Amino acid sequence: MTRATTVRGASEPIRRRTFLAATLAAAAAASAACGFGGSDDGGSADNNDDSGAGGSGDEPQRGGTLRQSMLPVTLLDPAVNANYSFGQIMMIGLWEGLVVADANDPIQVVPGVAESWDISGDGLIYTFHLRGEARWSNGDPVTANDFEWNWKRILTPGIAGESSPSYNRDRISVVGAADYMNGEIDDFSSVGAKAIDDATFELTLEKPDPDFLIYLSQFWALPLHPATVERLGDGWLDPENWVSNGAYVLDEFRVNLGAVLLPNDHYWDKDNYYIDRWEITFNDGGTTADLLSYQSGDLDITGRIEDDLEAVTTSDVADELMSSGTNQYRHLIALNSRHPALHDIKVRKALALAVDREALGGVGKPAIPGKSLVPGDVEGSDEVPGVEYDLEAAQNLLAEAGYPDGEGMPTITILDFQTSPWVEAIAEMWRKNLGLNVVLDIVELGVYSEKLNVPVHPEDYVGFMVTNNSVQPPTVVGAAYNNLQPIRTYGMNLSPPEAVDDILDELGADVDTAQIAAKLDGKRHPEVEQAVELAREALAQTDPEARTSLAIEAAIARDESYVSIPALWGGYFLLVKPRVQNLKPWFHTSVMSTKGVWIKQ
C-alpha cells in the first residue's frame, strides 16, 4: 500500500469520487483478504506462444492478448484533427508513416516505411527512400505515390468532410502546403510533396526545421490506402474493407464500446510485434470504473485515469503507474480583470514566488514539482531557470506593490471545473504566506468555458484559471509556440483593460475573444509583449542554433512575465500490468507504441 501524502485542511470535504473509490478499494481489499481474490492476470491471455522458452528470463514471448482501456475514440482518420491521444495510439498501430518515433529516445526518429532519407545541405529538401518490402495489408506494395496521394488528401480542406485539418500549417512549413490548404493555389504540383519514383518521396520545406522529422512521425502523416478510399469512400473505415500498412489491421470497431486489432501479416517489421490480439475497450465512465477493471485483472493497460490520478496514486496498484517523460505543465493563468492588482508584475511575481513547489509535489502525485513553463524532459529545459520559492522576496514584492501583508488586495479567485489537491494547496499557501483571501471557483465545464470567453472580468473577479498544457514537440522551440498559443484575452494576452475596451469599441460588443486577441499586438503589458516578440523571432529564424537560443530567451521571458504560474510537471500516465513487458510510454501525443511489447505468460 502506498501512503498518500496529503496536506489537506481538516475541514475540507472528501470528494465523492475519492470516497467512492476508497470505499470500493477497501471492500475489494477486504474481500481479497477473505480469500475471494480473483486470478491476478486475467484469464484471457492465449497460451499459444511459439517461443518455447519455457517462460525464462527476458526473451520476448510471442502471443497473448493485450487488453487496453481508453477514452472512446470517435474518429479514425489521420486527416482530421479531432483526436485525443487515445485515437492516436490506435492509429500509430494501424498505419506506418515514413518515419517512426523511437521509443528508446523519443526525440529521435527511426525508419518506418522509409528505409533511409537524405537531407539537403541547406536543410530544406528531405528525400525518403522507401523500403521495397513495405506492403499494405492486402499485399499491395506501399509506394511513394501513395504518400503523395495522402499529402494531397490531408491538404485538401473538407476532403474528409471535415473542417478541422490535422496538418498544422502554422508549424510545418512544406512549400506551398498552407497556400494549397487556404485555396490560394489549385495546382498540387507546386506543393513540396512529390513522388519522384515508386520508391522515392521528396518533401521540400520553406525553411529548415530541426523538429520536422518528429512532426512527420505523428498521426497526421500516416497514409491511407488510396485505392480503397477511392473505391469505397467512407466505407474504407469498415473493418471488413480494412486495408492499412501498419503492424495491425482493424478487425472490429464499435462506437463507444471498443475495437480489436489483429497483426498485419504483410507488415514488414512484424517480427518486432509480439502480441496476437490487441483488445481495446472504450470507457467514458470515469477513472473509478477503469481502476476497478484494472485491479480485478480485466485490463492490462489503462490510460483512462487522468481525471482522477489521485485515486490511482492512493490505490494498491500505484506502483504499476508508468509515466512518459515530462512535457506537460500544470499552471495557473492570470485572467484579465478590471482590477489593477494582477496587472502589476510585482503582484504576479509575488504570487509565483510564494508557491512552495516541493510541497505541491507531495499532493500532486504522480506529477512532480514544476518551476517553469518548460518541463524538465523538454530538450533545452536546463537553460530555463524558472521560478524558485522565496517567501521573503514575495512578501517584499507585495508590500512594494502597495499591498503589505495582503492589505488592500482583492479576493483572488481560482477558476476550475474540478477540484485538485494541488490547487487547494496553492490557495492555502497564498492565504498563509501572503495574507490573501483566496477562493476556489469550481464550476461546471460549460460555465468554465464561458467564463474563459469573458474579455475582461469585472473588478471583483480577480484571479487565475487552472489548466494543463504540453510542449509539442518536446523541444524548447515547441515551448516557444506556447508563447503564441493563447487565443483568448488571458495569460499571454494579459493587457490593460483599456486596451481591450478600445478593441471592443472598434469591433463592436458581439465578438469572440479570439478576434480581440488577434488585435492585441503592441497593446499588452510590456513584459508579455516581449515574450511574444521573442517567440516570434525564434520561430522566424532559419538558423537552427540561433533559433534555439532565441527560443530559450522567449521561454525565460515568458516565465518572468509571471502571467502563468507554473506548479507541476507531468507526462502521459499509464497503468501497466507487470505481465506487459517492454512498454515505454513516450511524450508524444500518441503516448505509446506496441513495438517490442510482449506479454509474459
Partner 1 sequence: MLAYVARRLVRLVLSLIAVSIITFGLLQLVPGSFSDLAEVGSTALGDQTSGDGGGDSLASRYGDQVPAWEQYARFMTGLVQWDMGPTFKYPQSSVEELMGEAFLVSLSLAVPATLLTLLVAIPIGMVAAVKKDKLADYGSIFTLTTIQALPGYLFALVLVLVFSVGLGWLPVRGWAGPEYMVIPVVALAVQPTAMLARYVRSSMLEALRDEYVVAALAKGGSRRTVLVRHVLRNSLIPLVTVVGPIFAALATGTVFVEVLLGIPGLGRLFTLAARTRDMPLLMGTTLFFALILMVMNLIVDLVYGLLDPRIRHQQRTSSRWRRPRRAGLLPASQLVDSRTQGGRDDGGGGSETPSPDVSAADGTEVRR
The interface with partner 1 within residues 306-325 (CB under 8 A) comprises: 306-307
Residue type present at position 74: T
Least distance between partner 1 and beta carbon 288 (Å):
9
Site mask for partner 1 (CB under 8 A), range 569-588, x = bound:
-x-x----------------
CA distances from 89 to 86, 237, 504, 594 (A): 5, 17, 43, 9
What is the rounded distance in angstroms from the CA atom of residue 517 to the CA atom of residue 533? 15
Interface pick for partner 1 out of 298, 320, 344, 533 (rule CB under 8 A): 298
- 8-16, 57-65, 160-168, 370-378 -> range binding partner 1 (CB under 8 A): 160-168
Q: What is the DSSP letter of 347?
A: H
Does the footprint of partner 1 cover residue 518 (CB under 8 A)?
no
Secondary structure element (H or E) that encloses residue 517, with its range: helix 513-517
CB of 256 to partner 1, least distance (A): 4
From candidates 10, 121, 392, 445, binder to partner 1 by CB under 8 A: 445
**Which C-beta is closer to partner 1: that of 10 or that of 34?**
34
Bridge partners (DSSP) listed for residue 379? 475
The smaller minimum CB distance to partner 1, of residues 381 and 470, is found at: 470
The residues pairing with 422 across neighbouring beta strands, listed in sequence order, are none
Which residues 487-506 are close enough to bind partner 1 by CB under 8 A? 487
- CA–CA gap between residue 229 and residue 329 (Å, rounded): 39
Identity of the residue, 158 or 385, whose beta carbon is nearer to partner 1 in the bound complex = 158
Binding map of partner 1 across residues 217-246, x = CB under 8 A, - = no contact: -----------------x--x---------
What is the rounded end-to-end Cα distance, in angstroms, of the chain? 25
- Residue 18 binds to partner 1 (criterion: CB under 8 A): no
Calculate the CA 23 to chain-centre distance.
32
Residue 255 interacting with partner 1 (CB under 8 A): yes
Task: Mark 405-430 as b/e (b = at least 16 C-beta within 10 Å).
Answer: ebeebbebbbbbbebbbbbbbbbbbb
Q: Which three cell numbers stand for residue 402?
A: 502597495
Cβ atoms of 323 and 573 closer than 8 Å: yes
Helix residue ranges per DSSP H, 84-201: 85-94, 144-155, 177-181
* Contact set for partner 1, span 25-64 (CB under 8 A): 27-28, 31-32, 34, 36-39
| Least Å from the CB of residue 78 to partner 1 | 12
Q: For the segment 162-191, give every residue that binds partner 1 (CB under 8 A).
A: 162-166, 168-171
Stretch in the footprint of partner 1 (CB under 8 A) among 5-13, 222-230, 281-289, 394-402: 281-289
Q: Nearer Cβ to partner 1, position 80 or 199?
A: 80
Please tell me whether residue 453 binds partner 1 under the rule CB under 8 A: yes
Cell of 466: 487552472
Near partner 1 in 67-86, by CB under 8 A: 71-72, 74-77, 80-85
Q: Name which of 181 and 393 has its Cβ closer to partner 1.
A: 181
**Minimum distance, C-beta of residue 6 to partner 1, in the bound complex (Å):** 22
In a 10 Å sphere around its CB, with 0-12 CB exposed, 13-18 middle and 19+ buried, how is residue 332 labelled? Answer: buried
Q: Which stretch binds partner 1 (CB under 8 A): 239-247, 292-300, 349-357, 489-497?
A: 292-300
Look up residue 387 and give its three cell numbers.
521560478
Question: Is the separation of the CB atoms in 430 and 411 below 8 Å?
Answer: no
Size of the site for partner 1 (CB under 8 A): 79
**Minimum distance, C-beta of residue 531 to partner 1, in the bound complex (Å):** 18
- Rounded to whole angstroms, the maximal C-alpha distance in the chain is 76
